[in-house]
Structure 1
Amino acid sequence: MSAEPIPHSPGPWCPDPRRQQRADYTLEDLLNLPDDAPRVELVDGVVQVTPSPTLGHQDISFLLRLWLHSHAPRHLRAAQDVGVELTVNTSRRADVLLCRAGVPSGLSLISPADVVLAVEIVSPGTRRVDRFAKPGEYAAAGIQYYWRIEQDPVHVYAYRRGDRLGPGGERQYELVADSAELIELTEPFEIKLSVAEITP
């Protein structure tokens, strides 16, 4: 009696190089990725694997989400590491976000119309994207508020979508507050955040 050969796994999922060259991935493709797919974002039809965050990054993310969960009004909901549908071929994963409380829990991609605040925590591997690309994309998609958090030391930069237009005619963010000690804002709700509370 002979044993059946054991099927070998073809290896972990990775984007199709031809589709990457054509840049024709869509949000629908993202929703149908296999379970073994890595953490990815979709940028102009190209699937990009996102680097793993550091412990310090995750500590800040957790503490901020906890703070927002405890302080935001009931019609808003705090979440971590959730995808946001920016266009038909672009989605980003916000480190932390505030969305409308009525958004169904089963979603892995949220419409920008349901996002009130998107937050990115800057790491060495994400500096350019978090400081330039993501705020431009979030503002163009209509997300009203954006926070950028720098590490070492922890410093919060709070932005609001303003009337100034960018090169492509889209509205851009304008800085409304920044501090390594205390952030006080009236929008998107009454905020008095001691930066020490989100510092690991």
Structure 2
Amino acid sequence: MSAEPVSETPGPWQPDPVRQRQAGYTLEDLLHLPPDAPRVELVDGVIHVVPSPTLGHQHIASLLWRWLTRHAPEHLRVAQAVGVALGTDFTREPDVLVYRAEVPADRHFLLPHEVVLAVEVVSPGTRRTDRFSKPAEYAAAGIPGYWRVEQDPVRVYAYRLADRPGRSGNREYELLAEAADVLELTQPFSVTLPIADITP
């Protein structure tokens, strides 16, 4: 009596380790990921799985998405969980972003010149990236606005792209305002945001 081969159930999708070592992934590869692939970002050709956010993080991001959707001018749209192609081998996925309304709805990624504002909600596991790496990357790509939302208590730091390169020689953000009560701005559009409206 011969033994039947045991069929193994395939595990969850993972990036190819050889291509990861070679930093060989491109934006085109992300367009062909299987449906069961997790949320990912592409950093210099290496796929990074985006950690699952906490409920508190998601509540803040959703409340901000809803607020911005109600208050953004007609020529702008608001999205969550949409990537921005910062290069052929580099993507980021802001928690919330504001983009130009003329962008076709069937697009998987936005280009930096189509994005008006990128927002990151800071979690314990993403502090360094959200406070340092992502703002530098978004500024270098020319995205005009960046908001960093800290949790517990909720506080918003709003930045705009400086007119001149910073001390690093690269384009950098400069702080426009920070608020724990009401955020008031004129850029990228007129904003009077009560922080209570985005506090779970």
TM-score greater than 0.5 by the shorter chain: yes
Kindly provide the CA deviation profile for residues 142-192 of structure 1, in whole angstroms up to 9, marking residues without a partner as x. Answer: 100000000000000000000342566321000000010111111111110
Q: What is the rounded CA distance, in whole Å, between the counterparts of 1:59 and 1:21 in structure 2?
A: 36
| Aligned twin of 1:49 | 49
| Aligned twin of 1:61 | 61
| Aligned twin of 2:178 | 178
1:40-189 correspondence to structure 2 within 5 Å: 40-166=40-166, 169-189=169-189
Q: What is the rounded CA distance, in whole Å, between the counterparts of 1:166 and 1:41 in structure 2?
A: 27
In structure 2, give the amino acid aligned to 1:113. Answer: H
Gapped runs of 5+ residues in structure 1? none
Q: What is the rounded CA distance, in whole Å, between the counterparts of 1:102 and 1:88 in structure 2?
A: 22
SS at match of 1:134: helix
In structure 1, give the amino acid aligned to 2:45. Answer: G
Q: What is the rounded CA distance, in whole Å, between the counterparts of 1:97 and 1:57 in structure 2?
A: 15
SS at match of 1:171: coil
Kindly provide the CA deviation profile for residues 53-77 of structure 1, in whole angstroms up to 9, marking residues without a partner as x. Answer: 0111111111101110100100000
SS at match of 1:32: coil
Between the two proteins, what is the percent identity of the paired residues? 63
In structure 2, give the amino acid aligned to 1:178. Answer: E
Q: Give the drift of 1:10.
A: 2.6
After TM superposition, which residue ranges in structure 1, 4 or more long, deviate above 6 angstroms?
none
Q: What is the rounded CA distance, in whole Å, between the counterparts of 2:116 and 2:47 in structure 1?
A: 25
Q: What is the rounded CA distance, in whole Å, between the counterparts of 1:159 and 1:175 in structure 2?
A: 4
TM-score of the pair, normalised by structure 1: 0.94
Count of aligned positions: 197
SS at match of 1:42: strand
Between stretches 122-131 and 157-166, larger displacement belongs to: 157-166
Q: What is the rounded CA distance, in whole Å, between the counterparts of 2:41 and 2:189 in structure 1?
A: 29
Kindly provide the CA deviation profile for residues 7-65 of structure 1, in whole angstroms up to 9, marking residues without a partner as x. Answer: 64432110111111111111001111111111110001100001100111111111101
Cα RMSD, aligned residues only: 1.5
TM-score of the pair, normalised by structure 2: 0.94
In structure 2, give the amino acid aligned to 1:18. Answer: V
SS at match of 1:73: coil
Higher-strand-fraction structure: 1
Kindly provide the CA deviation profile for residues 67-117 of structure 1, in whole angstroms up to 9, marking residues without a partner as x. Answer: 101001000001111100001111000100000112122222111111000
Q: What is the rounded CA distance, in whole Å, between the counterparts of 1:36 and 1:111 in structure 2?
A: 25
